[in-house]
Amino acid sequence: MSFYLAVKEIWRSRGRYLLIAGIVALITTLVLFIAALSEGLASANREYIEKLNGELLVFQSGAELSTTASRLGRSRLAELRRVEGIADVGQVGFATAKVPQGDGQSDVNVALIGVEPGRPGDPEVIEGQQLVRARSNDVVVDTGVTDRLGLGVGDTIRIKVTQGTEDKFFDLNIVGVTDRRQYFFQPAIFVPFVTWDKIRPQSSDAIGQGELVSNIAVVKLTDPSNLTAMATKIEQEVTKVQAVDRKTAWEAIPGYAAQQSTLNTQRYFTFFIGILVVGGFFQIQTLQKVAQIGMLKAIGASNFTVGLSAILQIVTTNAIGVAIGTAGTILLVSNFPESVPIMLTGASASTAVLSLLLIGPIGGIVSVFALLRIEPLTALGLAQ
């Protein structure tokens, strides 16, 4: 009976219900788009760190987990390798370089990441070969580089860096390609650490001076199950370092937390607006149906029948809207250019869709209670 009444009303008043489903679809598109943008921006920021083949990242203490402020020398690395429970340690250095495009086009910024071949931090290739030699011009690039610059294994990539006051150009041989590992919104080039130290941007005083200094060290543990205890142990046994897990490290990337909280606030507000809009629609509809509901109750329809019918209508309309909105968003996102940081992952999309499916029931709950309170006496023009 409830199902019959719900379906008949939706079908016979489909224009009205399609309108609210359309509004839900637009809200769904907005929420999913913000979720995709949030995921895309987060991923573009943290991809390299997220995919690191080590469990802990070691920073210089006092650097506040900033990869650019942190400095770790070889001596610190030697101390790290002596800590019991550490399987391997790799030095990683971060810098930015430009890839000139010629023909008046602007240079493409890339993350120039120095890694020790075969050690934690060195990415696994999906094509070509791994970095092998510590001193060479061989590089591995991520698919961000191959997609944007149209280069592949066997090609040479020319980068421009500023050393002292001069722009210097270096030609590097691409020997392998790894999956997307952007860092700070830039496609990544992985260079043997010794080479990186020579070609990275630096002041004239620093060129060729002192020991090899990395920004961070990536630590692979023999037993990855006890991260907190190992981090504490490292901080106790190695001078002036701070050890954190990958998540803590990427959350400390400048702007990451602020950006995510801004986008999440937008998402929650859109969700809240959705609840108000859907709730308002069904509340108005309930007010318009007082006489009809009173009559139905008078002729013997129970509160359960009337309430369930309303819930079915709310859930169905909402689900149709969410389905249309989700399909539309997938279509929209798949047609965005590669350069736009939009990423609709299964996890973030399904969380958003599940929460959107709750918009209707949460918004409509007030109208369902209002329906239950309508007295059958209203059919006779009486109310207690």
Site string for another protein, 359-378 (x = CB under 8 A): ----------------xxx-
Give the nearer residue to another protein in terms of CB position, either 13 or 68.
13
Considering CB under 8 A, how many residues would be counted as binding another protein? Answer: 28
CB 65 within 8 A of CB 249: yes
> β-strand 86-99 against 166-178: which pairing, if any?
unpaired
**Chosen residue from 207, 229, 327, 382 binding another protein by CB under 8 A:** 382
179 to each of 127, 190, 297, 360, how far by Cα in Å?
9, 12, 63, 40
> β-strand 166-178 against 138-142: which pairing, if any?
parallel
Compute the distance between CA of residue 302 and CA of residue 376 in angstroms, rounded to an integer: 10
Q: Is 287 in the site for another protein (CB under 8 A)?
A: no
Provide DSSP, 311-347: HHHHHHHHHHHHHHHHHHHHHHHHTS-TTS-----HH
- Subset of residues 292 to 311 that bind another protein, contact rule: CB under 8 A: 292, 294-303, 305
Angle value at C-alpha 284, between 280 and 287, nearest 5 degrees: 140
**Chosen residue from 1, 126, 134, 287 binding another protein by CB under 8 A:** 1
- Subset of residues 181 to 210 that bind another protein, contact rule: CB under 8 A: none
Q: How far is the CB of 372 from another protein (least distance, A)?
A: 11
Cα torsion 31, 36, 37, 42 to 10°: value is 130
CB 194 within 8 A of CB 234: no
Q: How far is the CB of 14 from another protein (least distance, A)?
A: 10
Q: How far is the CB of 11 from another protein (least distance, A)?
A: 8
Site string for another protein, 2-41 (x = CB under 8 A): --xx--xx--xx----------------------------
Give the nearer residue to another protein in terms of CB position, either 46 or 289.
289
Site residues, another protein (CB under 8 A): 1, 4-5, 8-9, 12-13, 291-292, 294-303, 305, 375-377, 379-382, 384
